[in-house]
């Protein structure tokens, strides 16, 4: 994968259509002229009151408001970064309401530096002001946490935790599932406040808001990088495919007017959900949309789950705009939409960058892995009378929290078992080439249920093919490649109604 190219945070006077990426960045907020309709007064919504009599008193309507924070608690919270929402008062209220004695904290590595501070605050202020208050026992779950799929309610329950607080991810595994056995679970998204105005002005100064100008802008970038334009013969490996959206016919006048504006698909992680909503409102002169892949929140993407932008779904876009740091989540969006150019605004470095992905290279080496796995099923059967089958596949159930799925394991056991293949279940918390090498070549293929990105991103580091659940089905002949003509790799691992989501519940494909 090639490194992203920096796009200048151009000054407000720069014409968007002429903004060409250069390796210059500024960390100060840029000033830009107000949008054309910024001076127009907004219409005030008319209030329509209810004709029904109130059913409760004013006092009752405010009875559920949380009590004001004590000066001591306010001072303690001042130690935490002010732009991070750890929801400590909400956690304290839950502890007190349910008379919790043992609290477990689980955080991704980027937040673990705050675990002890938050733990001290919870133990000190949970029963503040109560006489003979019970002591709070704190448990910090220190294993690596890659995502919401790693919520470790199993370990927490075994340790006697009564309330597990999982930080930094959305409620991917329902609380009805993780709260079994009397343990409660609280998901804290840890929303992060950022400079939305800077993001807005940077986007506006660099990305044209009219589709015709934006198409020219993208074509210029494609020529600079040697990426082919539509209609040209494909040759070599492009970092992204400059493919335009599907053509439309018989559009209405209103739709035609909307088509004239650049349509940006805004996506992010759950930490920037509020900022993403504010950014969409600020970019009103663009045809912005916030796609959704249920059960995730609008605009939220995971490293394994991202929405597909197409006319069929009603979510066509000229470009993807990702709000966040790092590339892992954005890459899922690019894998699901190989023909849509992608841009990333990093709220920490305050840079807007154009991001690319080697789709052709990825498909080439994943196809080779699948073909090697399929070839193992065609080896002649052993004829020594031992009953030994010609191929052995190791089916790895991920045990890092809820990352693995027994439903997927059972489904794979059924789909791979044949006259020539012996499926062998393996339980592993984390995968590594050195770990799988210990099987000493006795297994022809490994299939992992933890995350499809393990195979896509790091499959080439393993001696034997390391397939995802999707790739295992292709290799065994259960199904074919999806959208092979456009090279889209499915990123719907947790999407409601997907083959993989159904298999988790039913244990079969």
Q: Are residues 158 and 298 in the same domain?
A: no
Q: Which one has a higher pLDDT value, 420 or 364?
A: 364
pLDDT band at 382 (very low <50, low <70, confident <90, very high): low
Measure Cα distances from 468 to 363, 394, 455, 482 in Å.
Answer: 13, 12, 6, 14
What is the pLDDT, as a whole number, of residue 208? 95
Last residue of a domain, one of 134, 164, 188: 188
* Mean pLDDT (whole number) for 489-498: 94
Q: What total number of domains does the chain contain?
A: 3
Measure Cα distances from 43 to 7, 40, 46 in Å.
Answer: 36, 9, 9
Q: Are residues 182 and 203 in the same domain?
A: no
Structural contact between residues 161 and 139, judged by C-beta atoms closer than 8 angstroms: yes
Q: Are residues 199 and 331 in the same domain?
A: yes
296-318: pLDDT as tens digits: 999 999 999 999 997 666 678 99
| Whether the predicted pLDDT of 37 surpasses 70 | no
The structure's pTM equals: 0.80
User: Exposed (0-12), middle (13-18) or buried (19+): which is 362, by Cβ within 10 Å?
Assistant: buried
DSSP state at residue 374 = H
Q: Are residues 346 and 207 in the same domain?
A: yes
pLDDT band at 229 (very low <50, low <70, confident <90, very high): very low
| Whether the predicted pLDDT of 285 surpasses 70 | yes
Q: Are residues 170 and 218 in the same domain?
A: no
Structural contact between residues 301 and 220, judged by C-beta atoms closer than 8 angstroms: no
Distance CA 382, CA 385 (A): 8
Contact partners, residue 113, CB within 8 Å, separation at least 6: none
Other residues' Cβ atoms within 10 Å of the Cβ of residue 483: 12
Q: Are residues 365 and 267 in the same domain?
A: no
What is the pLDDT, as a whole number, of residue 171? 93
Q: Quote the percentage of the chain above a pLDDT of 90.
A: 67
| Average of per-residue pLDDT values in the chain | 83
Q: Are residues 324 and 395 in the same domain?
A: no
* Mean pLDDT (whole number) for 414-421: 84
Asked if residue 27 belongs to a domain, the reply is no
Q: Are residues 493 and 405 in the same domain?
A: yes
Lowest-pLDDT range of 8-12, 40-44, 233-237: 233-237
Q: Are residues 412 and 295 in the same domain?
A: no
Q: SS in 3 state form for 95-150? A: HHHCCCCEEEEECCHHHHHHHHHHHHHHHHHCCCCCCCCCCCEEEEECCCCCCHHH
Last residue of a domain, one of 188, 211, 245: 188
Distance CA 190, CA 167 (A): 6
103-141: pLDDT as tens digits: 999 999 999 999 999 999 999 999 998 888 889 999 999
DSSP-based three-state secondary structure for 16 = helix
Asked if residue 39 belongs to a domain, the reply is no
pLDDT band at 4 (very low <50, low <70, confident <90, very high): very low
Domain region containing 178:
86-188
* Mean pLDDT (whole number) for 158-171: 96
Asked if residue 74 belongs to a domain, the reply is no
Helix and strand numbers, DSSP H then E, in the chain: 17, 13
Measure Cα distances from 334 to 210, 277, 301, 327 in Å.
Answer: 23, 21, 11, 10
């Amino acid at each position: 994968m090639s490194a992203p190219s920096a796009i200048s945070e151009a000054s407000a006077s720069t014409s968007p259509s002429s903004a060409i990426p250069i390796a210059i960045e500024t960390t100060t907020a840029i000033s830009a002229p107000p949008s054309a309709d910024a001076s127009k007064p907004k219409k005030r919504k008319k209030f329509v009151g209810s004709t029904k009599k109130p059913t409760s008193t004013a006092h009752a309507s405010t009875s559920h408001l949380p009590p004001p924070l004590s000066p001591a608690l306010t001072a303690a919270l001042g130690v935490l970064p002010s732009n991070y929402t750890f929801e400590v008062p909400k956690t304290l209220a839950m502890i007190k309401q349910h008379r919790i004695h043992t609290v477990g904290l689980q955080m991704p590595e980027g937040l673990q530096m705050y675990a002890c501070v938050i733990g001290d605050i919870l133990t000190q202020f949970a029963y503040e002001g109560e006489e003979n208050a019970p002591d709070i026992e704190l448990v910090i779950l220190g294993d690596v946490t890659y995502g919401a799929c790693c919520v470790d309610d199993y370990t927490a329950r075994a340790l006697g935790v009564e309330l597990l607080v999982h930080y930094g991810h959305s409620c991917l595994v329902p609380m009805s599932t993780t709260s079994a056995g009397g343990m409660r679970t609280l998901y804290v998204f840890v929303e992060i406040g950022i400079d939305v105005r800077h993001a807005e002005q940077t986007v506006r100064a660099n990305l044209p808001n009219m589709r015709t100008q934006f198409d020219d802008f993208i074509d210029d970038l494609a020529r600079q990088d040697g990426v082919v334009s539509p209609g040209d013969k494909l040759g070599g490996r492009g970092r992204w495919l400059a493919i335009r959206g599907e053509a439309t016919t018989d559009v209405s006048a209103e739709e035609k007017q909307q088509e004239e504006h650049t349509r940006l698909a805004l996506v992010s992680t759950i930490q920037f959900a509020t900022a993403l909503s504010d950014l969409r409102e600020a970019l009103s002169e663009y045809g912005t949309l916030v796609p959704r892949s249920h059960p995730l929140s609008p605009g939220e993407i995971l490293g394994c789950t991202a929405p597909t932008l197409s006319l069929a779904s009603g979510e066509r876009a000229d470009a993807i705009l990702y709000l966040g740091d790092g590339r892992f989540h954005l890459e899922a969006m690019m894998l699901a939409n190989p023909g849509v150019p992608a841009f990333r605004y990093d709220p920490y470095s305050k840079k807007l960058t154009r991001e690319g992905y080697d789709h052709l290279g990825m498909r080439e080496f994943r196809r080779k892995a699948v073909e090697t796995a399929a070839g193992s099923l065609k080896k002649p059967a052993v004829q020594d009378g031992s009953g030994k089958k010609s191929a052995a596949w190791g089916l790895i159930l991920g045990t890092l929290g809820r990352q693995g799925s027994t439903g997927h394991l059972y489904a794979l056991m059924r789909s791979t078992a044949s006259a020539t293949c012996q499926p062998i279940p393996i339980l592993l918390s984390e995968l590594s080439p050195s770990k799988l090498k210990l099987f000493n070549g006795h297994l022809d293929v490994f299939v992992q249920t933890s995350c499809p990105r393990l195979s896509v991103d790091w499959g080439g580091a393993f001696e034997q093919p390391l397939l995802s659940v999707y790739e295992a089905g292709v290799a065994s002949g259960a199904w074919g490649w999806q959208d092979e003509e456009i090279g889209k790799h499915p990123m719907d691992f947790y999407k409601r109604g997907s083959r993989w989501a159904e298999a988790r519940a039913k244990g079969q494909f």
